[in-house]
Structure 1
Amino acid sequence: MPELPEVEAARRFIERLCAGSTIVSVTTREQGGGPREGSFDDIVFEHVSDGTTNDSESLYHTALLRKTLKCVHRKGKQFWFEFAEPESPCVLFHFGMTGSCAIKGQEAMKYRSFKVDEAHWPPRFTKLLLKFDNGEELAFCDPRRLGRIKIRSDPHNTSPLKDLGIDPLSGDIPDAPALKKLIESISSPIKSLLLDQERVFCGIGNYLADEILYQAKIHPSTKANALSDAGIEALITAIKYVIHTAVAAEADYKFFPTDWLFHCRWDKVKSKSQKILLPNGSAVVFEEVAGRTTAIVPSVQLLRSPLVVLGTTNTARGKTKIKAESSLPTTDSISATVGATTVAKRERKISHGEIKVEVKEEVIEEVKVALAQRNVKQKVKEEGNAAPA
């Protein structure tokens, strides 16, 4: 699924080529040779009504045709068009699992989990095709029909935008004490919390969550409210580092740092027959966490053990179980007597107390330089192809 970096790259791509131009043609019937060729996809296009008509297709035409694109906004995985004409509603997009935007004559964005059709125009599974007065053509494609297109007059104050959490790129990420307060009552796994688009953050999907937790040295199954202060600090730093690096690379995974877990997480099938190793030799394993396939590096992502019953004690209300939550690594300490029952106490040491996670500004700069060099080579190639024979 395209996540925050991919959607931000699409936003910048569209705004750079189409902002300031007027839409002169709108096609809402599927094109490109898919199985629903010629049909209006009423799953991808949300049903809309203006009180006088329930014809969704005509209302999408009205919302887009002869409108001048002022700018493209994004929050989390949602992005939307704002138009220059007063009172014009916004048109909101979500890529779902396999959605993408393509512009005629431009290299398509590269996704690790699926490919965008570059052999035809419009591409296969094109749900919406827009032509602008500057000559650009924009296609919204979605093979699996899990993407969505919506009309919103006040996007910030209506769903889905109003329900989203903090955007890690453009929003104000809370500091450690504030984040600790936000998650103190959340006992679900930390990965589950990161994937939830409404509780704290938005825009983080499966690959970002895995990378963030690896960089922060946190096991994905760790309960959110079991994180130490140092663990919360590490999480915040890792979120900033991973998001900003991926965005600097324009979501082109070939420019992600070579030591990232990202490059190994697609090898689950291979892992059944051979070990998957990071460049530093650390083994990668795959487990299901929060209902999603999760890549984990056990040597650095240590799992806090669950609550265990250590004994019972007598109270006015009867016997009460004594519980303790241990973490790895732990050191057995002393014993104490509570009532007539002896319970083992443990001194808990969180590994984050000795680990410093930093935003690697030099890595982000290296990514930017490499990408700029790629873009220059690409431009030279395009100019060469366009030169007259």
Structure 2
Amino acid sequence: MPELPDVEGFRKVLVSCGQGRTIRRVDVRDAGVLHGTSGRRLRDALEGRRFTEPERHGKWLLAHTSGPTLLLHFGMTGRLLCARPDDAVEAHDRVLFTLSGDRQLRYRDQRKLRGLWLADDDAGLARVMGRQGPDALAVGRADFEAALSSRRGRIKTTLTDQSVLAGLGNLLADEILWRAGVHPRVRAGDLTDDERRRLYTHMRRTLRSAVTAGCVPPRDAWLTGHRDDPDPLCPRCGTHLRRTRLAGRGTVWCPRCQPDADGAGRGRNPP
């Protein structure tokens, strides 16, 4: 599933392929990815407009133009690619934006769980995006700690709640919790000051590394590199990893590096 690092990569694709270019043609090949708009309205609103500097907030990509803003959310399988107009079109290329300078942006999505929206102003952006917390890559330590301390839910669920903190998904949350030595079932409001500091530090480090890679990389030294193994072992201590579901999400953790939620061993640094 695309998370913050993937969407930041899509923002860079839009910058390099589309920023400053005029939208010559919009070809909607599958209107099932459009929300609150039609293919005709999308064409009328965007053809002849110019892409300006895009933004990313959490998992949302805001493709600003000289007119309305095109909002893209990538769900589980969405991607944004740069091509040339005469390149072969693939089955899951849902919307094509042919641009000046012989470029074409393509929204590709196999499962079509999210898609594209249009917004004319800030109020429209807010309606489409809903309540969003601060961006996980930009949030300051004080705001991060304040957001966690006011929540009563489990820390894994809190980290993936986009109204609390925007941009973290399942893989990132598990990775950050493992690095910080925090059990996913600990209640956010029960975290110690040291645990909150560790979470923030490891979130920043993990995001910087993942943004550079353009994804949450399945490296051998990362939890992500082992979570799908048949018999996964912790890359730090070699303990057998455990699995559960929290709020419907598959969750992986190390019982040695991440002490139980009952508080046993809490407050110490992970091995």
TM-score (norm 1): 0.65
Long gaps (5+) in structure 1: 31-39, 49-55, 106-119, 306-326, 330-349, 358-389
For residues 267-315 of structure 1, give each alpha carbon's deviation from its aligned partner in whole angstroms, at most 9, with x where no partner exists: 3xx13xxx5342652322211122211111111101222xxxxxxxxxx
Give the 3 Å change call, closer, same or farther, for CA 191–160 of structure 1 in structure 2. farther
Q: CA deviation at 1:135?
A: 0.8
Q: Note the 1:222-371 alignment, pairs <5 A.
A: 222-251=186-215, 253=217, 256=219, 258-267=220-229, 270-271=230-231, 275-278=232-235, 280-305=237-262, 327-329=263-265, 350-352=266-268, 355=269
Q: CA deviation at 1:147?
A: 1.8
Q: Note the 1:162-241 alignment, pairs <5 A.
A: 163-169=131-137, 171-175=138-142, 179-198=144-163, 200-241=164-205
The equivalent position to 1:139 in structure 2, one of 99, 106, 114, is 106
Counterpart CA distance in 1 for 2:264 and 2:216 is: 36
For residues 63-103 of structure 1, give each alpha carbon's deviation from its aligned partner in whole angstroms, at most 9, with x where no partner exists: 221111112211000002111x3xx1111000011111122
Counterpart CA distance in 1 for 2:146 and 2:168 is: 20
Secondary structure of 1:27's counterpart equals strand
Q: State yes or no: 1:63 paired with 2:20.
A: no
Q: CA deviation at 1:153?
A: 1.3
Aligned 8 A contact 2:7 2:60 in 1: yes
Counterpart CA distance in 2 for 1:165 and 1:142 is: 26
Counterpart CA distance in 1 for 2:211 and 2:127 is: 25
Counterpart CA distance in 1 for 2:48 and 2:144 is: 45
Q: CA deviation at 1:29?
A: 2.0
Counterpart CA distance in 2 for 1:132 and 1:261 is: 41
Q: State yes or no: 1:2 paired with 2:13.
A: no
Long gaps (5+) in structure 2: none
For residues 204-232 of structure 1, give each alpha carbon's deviation from its aligned partner in whole angstroms, at most 9, with x where no partner exists: 00000000100110010111111111111
Counterpart CA distance in 1 for 2:150 and 2:6 is: 32
Secondary structure of 1:243's counterpart equals helix
Aligned 8 A contact 1:218 1:301 in 2: yes
Report the AA paired with residue 295 of structure 1.
Answer: V
Counterpart CA distance in 2 for 1:12 and 1:103 is: 11
Report the AA paired with residue 158 of structure 1.
Answer: A
- Which structure features the higher share of strand residues? 1
Q: CA deviation at 1:181?
A: 4.0
Q: State yes or no: 1:77 paired with 2:77.
A: no
Q: CA deviation at 1:179?
A: 4.3
Give the 3 Å change call, closer, same or farther, for CA 278–195 of structure 1 in structure 2. same
The equivalent position to 1:94 in structure 2, one of 68, 73, 77, is 73
Secondary structure of 2:141's counterpart equals coil
The equivalent position to 1:159 in structure 2, one of 121, 127, 131, is 127
Aligned pair count reads 268
Q: Displaced runs of 4+ in structure 1, greater than 6 A?
A: none
For residues 29-77 of structure 1, give each alpha carbon's deviation from its aligned partner in whole angstroms, at most 9, with x where no partner exists: 23xxxxxxxxx32xx20123xxxxxxx2211001221111112211000
Counterpart CA distance in 1 for 2:270 and 2:168 is: 23
RMSD of equivalent CA atoms: 2.2
TM-score (norm 2): 0.91
Give the 3 Å change call, closer, same or farther, for CA 11–132 of structure 1 in structure 2. same
Give the 3 Å change call, closer, same or farther, for CA 172–187 of structure 1 in structure 2. closer
Report the AA paired with residue 172 of structure 1.
Answer: V
For residues 332-357 of structure 1, give each alpha carbon's deviation from its aligned partner in whole angstroms, at most 9, with x where no partner exists: xxxxxxxxxxxxxxxxxx333xx289
For residues 129-188 of structure 1, give each alpha carbon's deviation from its aligned partner in whole angstroms, at most 9, with x where no partner exists: 11111111111011111022000112475224461101021x33232xx54443344221
Aligned 8 A contact 2:94 2:109 in 1: yes
Counterpart CA distance in 2 for 1:279 and 1:184 is: 28
Counterpart CA distance in 2 for 1:197 and 1:217 is: 22
